[in-house]
Amino acid sequence: MTFDSLTFVVFLAAIFGGYWAVRSWTARKVFLLSASYLFYAAWNPFFVLLIIATTGFDWLASHWMDRVQHPSYRRAILASSIAINLGSLGFFKYAQFFADNAVDLLVVSRWRDLCGPGVIESADVWCRLAAPDFPAQPAHGQWAPHDRPYALIEREWHQLPLEFPAEE
């Protein structure tokens, strides 16, 4: 369910109406929490576990802060709760972005210059095995990322054997 879909508009209208139909403040909080879990489950059920874990951690942190009297300890608990939430958000939202860009950087930045010739020959053999209809060498005589099936390199880059030349 995306924000620009008709399904979301219906979901939002139902949640808005349900929120105002419930009179108890505690029941409203439980209703909104359940709606949040349902929204995340509609997108990806795995993320329901993530939101349950962060909700549980925040609930424990709030009870811990309530029992602690010293202000610096309370700030430390609050800071750890914020760090856990931002860290999980950052990881699950941006980890794939950074991994994809790291692959792009490695592919585009001429591996031969960075890693030595062993990596390029291994990548060339691997690409010929994965896509035998591609030529062994491009027309200009040098291996370049745009001459190989990019999707294969991006999807399986971690399986390339990295063999560095011995020190001379």
**Domain ranges for the chain:** 6-94, 109-159
Q: How much is the pLDDT for 96?
A: 83
Q: How much is the pLDDT for 156?
A: 47
Q: How much is the pLDDT for 166?
A: 57
* Among candidate residues 60, 21, 52, 23, the one with its CA nearest the CA of residue 36: 52
Tokens 């560095």 found at: 164
* Among candidate residues 116, 94, 121, 106, the one with its CA nearest the CA of residue 153: 106
Q: What is the dihedral of CA 130, 132, 136, 139, to 10 degrees?
A: -110
* Among candidate residues 32, 21, 16, the one with its CA nearest the CA of residue 8: 16
Give the pLDDT means over successive 10-residue stretches in the chain (168 positions): 86 95 95 92 86 93 94 94 93 83 66 49 50 48 46 47 53
